[in-house]
Structure 1
Amino acid sequence: MAFPLHESKLPVLPLAMLVFISILSGSLHASDPPLTLDHYASTCPDVFEIVKKEMECEVLSDPRNAALILRLHFHDCFVQGCDGSVLLDDTITLQGEKEALTNTNSLKGFKIIDRIKNKIESECPGIVSCADILTIAARDAVILVGGPYWDVPVGRKDSKTASFELAASNLPTADEGLLSIMTKFLYQGLSATDLVALSGAHTIGMARCANFRSRIYGDFETTSDASPMSETYLNSLKSTCPAAGGSGDNNISAMDYATPNLFDNSFYQLLLKGDGLLSSDQELYSSMLGIETKNLVIKYAHDSLAFFQQFADSMVKMGNITNPDSFVNGEVRTNCRFVNT
């Protein structure tokens, strides 16, 4: 089932409302979008192969590019649905999402999508949406660093609008508590299982010092098992990210220090040790409110196949979050950064 995005600002919901929302989620969201596996079969039959080859080049040149594209896809789908709105640059008449606090200094990879789009436009002009390109590229990015395969339904349109406001309110942040993050996922029609599985994408991600400073100078030692490896890790993080703000804000560290360039389940194993880099990640295991999420972390830490299967399912589910307006009034952008004139 697909879960189109509400267009109103995300409400702040009390705990008692969460169960109510999860029960009613089917009625809160509209019917499935017109996405199919063969949407481009006759109009651009090589689209999947083109994206695959371009992503192979990008990830071969720098494995971190896989995480950049995957993050772009997440940040697109959580704002107006998976409609390519995150790719839009600011103009005189349009405020994009790139400069929202949750996106600025965090999102990269735009030039990769530009290159893929240019290649596809030379083969099939005006046919393939930027939203579909980003969704396909995210799947290929995961595969190229050892993750699972899943079929990508396509047929999305590109939005002519963006929402700076929703980018600021809908996207989870690094220091957020489990209850708040769960609210944001439920709002998108995504479950606690989806939350834990999709958080596993951090197995290949990097984080800025500004996003993990409060964690390493806060409750890291409380959650950690205090093993020599954990202590060494924490000391390394503190040398990378000084307690005082300033120039160190943009220093980065892998969210999975064990296998930073491999898509696997070691991210969850680190959470079991209490070594999650972001507070929002460690909350999945350590929060007193997270009985269900804790059990899922344990499950995925010990069963990589279960994680891979659920991650693939949850990625399809997230990719089906739609912007109903884009299917009616959307377009196929010639340039992913700007609406067509």
Structure 2
Amino acid sequence: MAASKNSFGVLMLQMMVVLGLFSLHAEGQGLKVGFYEKSCPHAEKIVFKVIKDVMAVAPSLSGPLLRMHFHDCFIRGCDGSVLLDSPTRQSEKFSPPNLSLRGFNIIDRVKVALENACPGVVSCADIVALVARDVTVVTKGPFWEVETGRRDGKVSLFSDPINPVTGLPRFTANITVLKESFALRGLSTKDLVVLSGGHTIGMSHCSSFESRLYNFTGKGDTDPTMDQNYIARLKLKCKPRDQTTLAELDPGSFKTFDDSYYKLVTKRRGLLQSDAALLNDPETRAYLDQATSHGSTFFKDFGVSMVKMGRIGVLTGSKGEVRKLCTKTN
């Protein structure tokens, strides 16, 4: 009887967590394209100029800056909480899943440029969303209209990204966990496979996939679902316990936003387990096939899914604030 009560308690806790996340669904009331048209008419041009200048000298930041929007929206909604600093390292930024993020200084640089033009007007949450679009465009990817009007949150907790139920999906997640994580936020299976295509730009630390090369089941073996020739090539780059070396998520075109990521995944050359997981579901597998055909709609779909993701749990109107500095609340 005690065990059954305990199980019931766990179930109730999970239900409460899910119910608490209903407000995080991709709804986005209060957002609109051109929100700053009157209050800061050149806002989007200012953001694009900074990003274009940055990409000219540091193109490797495109992937991390795109991923920052995902990491922000999946935790507490798209409220800029991932940007907040903490003197005791207890904010989201310092949580393990976010330690690989880079480019926070670029967000600060954009904020300074906007504050010089329109003090106290453009939120940091909107900057993250606009930057994600602009790094995609500069790397030859699609353009989409970004809805703006988000306000910045005041809470950022170290524990949120690593919460086993509501945290960021891990790079080792299987397809069931990935689908549940996206569904919890009002995103579909199609959104999952489309947004995974963002891995066409960027890199990953060897430590994120080391087990697939050297110790997949704890017996010194390799991941049997991964192309063995690809494993051999990765072993030349990544040695056991390597914490610093980076590998391209989309070898050969990791600085260009294209559809080659899907071609790699279908050839069993997805770098992360969460990439390979897309082969294990009929709907995601069907999209992989479609994205590698002449009838690919990936570019259009990516913009649609990014807009949808950008609506998760937004603060608008009188909620939240517009930070003067993206690293701390007013």
TM-score, normalised to structure 2, is 0.87
Counterpart in 1 of 2:136?
142
Query: d(CA) in 2 for partners of 1:59 and 1:304?
Result: 30
Query: d(CA) in 2 for partners of 1:333 and 1:27?
Result: 22
- Could you tell me how far 1:182 is from its partner in structure 2? 1.1
Aligned with 1:222 (options 221, 224, 233): 224
Counterpart in 1 of 2:262?
268
Query: d(CA) in 1 for partners of 2:157 and 2:29?
Result: 21
Distance change in 2, residues 1:31/1:109 (3 Å): closer
Query: d(CA) in 2 for partners of 1:282 and 1:175?
Result: 10
More off after superposition, 199-208 vs 299-308 = 299-308
Deviation track 1:115-153 (CA, whole Å, cap 9, x = no partner) reads 010011011000000000110011000000011010001
- Could you tell me how far 1:327 is from its partner in structure 2? 4.8
- Could you tell me how far 1:329 is from its partner in structure 2? 3.4
Work out whether 1:293 is the aligned partner of 2:284. yes
The number of residues matched between the two structures is: 307
Equivalent residue of 1:222, what SS? Answer: coil
Aligned with 1:165 (options 150, 156, 159): 159
Work out whether 1:177 is the aligned partner of 2:166. no
Counterpart in 2 of 1:68?
64
- Could you tell me how far 1:323 is from its partner in structure 2? 3.9
- Could you tell me how far 1:220 is from its partner in structure 2? 6.1
Distance change in 2, residues 1:145/1:90 (3 Å): same
Distance change in 2, residues 1:29/1:64 (3 Å): closer
Query: d(CA) in 2 for partners of 1:161 and 1:114?
Result: 19
Deviation track 1:55-100 (CA, whole Å, cap 9, x = no partner) reads 00111112111112101111000001110000000136x9310111
**Is 2:27–2:312's contact at 8 Å kept on the other side of the alignment?**
no
- Could you tell me how far 1:307 is from its partner in structure 2? 0.7
* 1:14-25 matched pairs, under 5 angstroms: none
Distance change in 2, residues 1:83/1:277 (3 Å): same
Work out whether 1:125 is the aligned partner of 2:124. no
Counterpart in 1 of 2:8?
none
Q: Which amino acid aligns with 2:197?
A: G
Counterpart in 2 of 1:197?
194
- Could you tell me how far 1:270 is from its partner in structure 2? 0.4
Query: d(CA) in 1 for partners of 2:295 and 2:247?
Result: 24
Work out whether 1:152 is the aligned partner of 2:154. no
Aligned with 2:203 (options 180, 198, 206): 206
- Could you tell me how far 1:44 is from its partner in structure 2? 0.4
* 1:238-317 matched pairs, under 5 angstroms: 238-243=235-240, 245=241, 248-285=242-279, 287=280, 290-303=281-294, 305-317=296-308
Q: % of aligned pairs identical?
A: 40
Query: d(CA) in 2 for partners of 1:28 and 1:214?
Result: 33
- Could you tell me how far 1:33 is from its partner in structure 2? 1.6
Query: d(CA) in 2 for partners of 1:309 and 1:40?
Result: 25
Aligned with 1:43 (options 16, 39, 61): 39
**Is 1:79–1:163's contact at 8 Å kept on the other side of the alignment?**
no
Distance change in 2, residues 1:304/1:252 (3 Å): farther
Root-mean-square deviation over aligned CA pairs: 2.4
Query: d(CA) in 1 for partners of 2:107 and 2:23?
Result: 35
- Could you tell me how far 1:181 is from its partner in structure 2? 1.2
**Is 1:33–1:322's contact at 8 Å kept on the other side of the alignment?**
no
Gaps of 5+ in 1: 1-10
**Is 2:151–2:320's contact at 8 Å kept on the other side of the alignment?**
yes
Q: Which amino acid aligns with 1:74?
A: F
Work out whether 1:329 is the aligned partner of 2:319. yes
Aligned with 1:102 (options 77, 97, 103): 97
Equivalent residue of 1:98, what SS? Answer: helix
Equivalent residue of 1:111, what SS? Answer: helix
